[in-house]
Structure 1
Amino acid sequence: MSDERTASGSGGPDILEEIEAEVAETLSEEELPPGGPAYQTVGALVALAVGVGGLVLSLDYGLGSLRRPGPGLWPFVISVVITVLAVVLLLTGRRLEDSVSFSRASVLPAVGLLTFVGLGVLMPLVGFEIPSLVLCVVWLRFLGGETWRSTITISVGTVATFYALFLYGLSIPLPHLLNF
């Protein structure tokens, strides 16, 4: 080993410089043409639909009170924030010029959302473990571009951690296949 790595002992600064250069290169390759007011409006309408949907669903869980919050209180608060911000964007967004046109990469958040909904649908049917593992694999490998090695390692570790945390640490009765 030569150059700065042996001088600094760990090679830390070189690695940071390499990462910064890689990120800068990736960002320069992904520059898209501006989208204009229509794209701002579409983005605001999607956020508004998510916010209103969250409001409706959180009410079904029950809000409770501030002293004894129900399971729907926190999702309700977040949904109110999303809804308010979406309305603000809808009203002011047509004058903004920072939107970009849709591309192939615009589909990735929709795929992420669909796999998350799939987790919610499948969990009561087949348990927590399999849908969670599939979600992690899809997000890491196919949406995040991770290697298979890191995808499998992180996915299994994440599911095992959440399994232990929710079922044993917090005693939350999630539907699950494995009984240890």
Structure 2
Amino acid sequence: MTSEEPAPARLSDAVHEVEEVEHEFRPPVAGRVTDVVVGIAVVGLGVAALLGSLALGVGSARTPGTGTWPLLVSVALVVLGIGLLAMTGRTRDAERFTRAAWLVLAGLATMIAFVAVVGVIGFEIPAALLMFVWLRFLGHESWRTSIITSLATVVAFYVVFVGLLAVPIPHMF
């Protein structure tokens, strides 16, 4: 070797450079307020699911009811939410809400709208619109790609699920 530095020193320098580059592209770290809000939201979701599962009827250990599995999941949510609240301010891996986080919320809102209308007007139009919005506005695909992919995918789903498999989903045609 003609290098004057030993190999381990060069390796540690390379690792340090990689860490600097990774840090440069990371979104800002969320603060304590975000930690608390997320923890409370998870606990709230868990409590709401817990109440819903109790309304379904949990049954017993021998004869579990409809609400048994939702009850177990909701208890896990409550415990995890309390754990998040206990860890407030101690972690550095939670990210501050950025434009990318709002895109996720927009995706969730469009999915909720899809679910709300699919039973009323069928899946064809809502599925095409949902896919188009996701491709064009959330994924920044071209207009042509978004339109063609949306329509082709809905046609393919219709042929496979309604035509070939006779799946009883709400459809217009």
Q: What is the TM-score with the length of structure 2 in the denominator? A: 0.62
Identity of aligned residues (%): 38
Pair 1:126 & 2:121 matched: yes
Residue type matched to 1:173 in 2?
Answer: P
- Equivalent position of 1:99 in the other structure: 94
Structure-2 separation of matches of 1:152 and 1:77: 42
Cα deviation, residue 176, structure 1:
0.8
Cα deviation, residue 130, structure 1:
0.5
- Equivalent position of 2:13 in the other structure: none
Structure-2 separation of matches of 1:45 and 1:146: 36
Which is worse superposed, 142-151 or 98-107? 98-107
Residue type matched to 1:147 in 2?
Answer: S
Taking the TM superposition and a 5 Å limit, the aligned residue runs for 1:1-180 are 31-50=26-45, 85-178=80-173
Instruction: Count matched residues.
Output: 149
Structure-1 separation of matches of 2:49 and 2:172: 29
Structure-1 separation of matches of 2:44 and 2:154: 30
Cα deviation, residue 175, structure 1:
1.3
Structure-2 separation of matches of 1:76 and 1:147: 44
Cα deviation, residue 81, structure 1:
5.9
Structure-1 separation of matches of 2:161 and 2:55: 22
Q: Does the C-alpha gap of structure 1 residues 112 and 62 become closer, same or farther in structure 2, counting only changes over 3 Å? A: farther
**Greater Rg over alpha carbons, structure:** 2
Structure-2 separation of matches of 1:168 and 1:80: 41
Ranges in structure 2 where 5+ consecutive residues have no aligned partner: 1-21, 59-64
Residue type matched to 1:129 in 2?
Answer: E
RMSD: 3.8
Cα deviation, residue 164, structure 1:
3.0
Q: What is the TM-score with the length of structure 1 in the denominator? A: 0.60
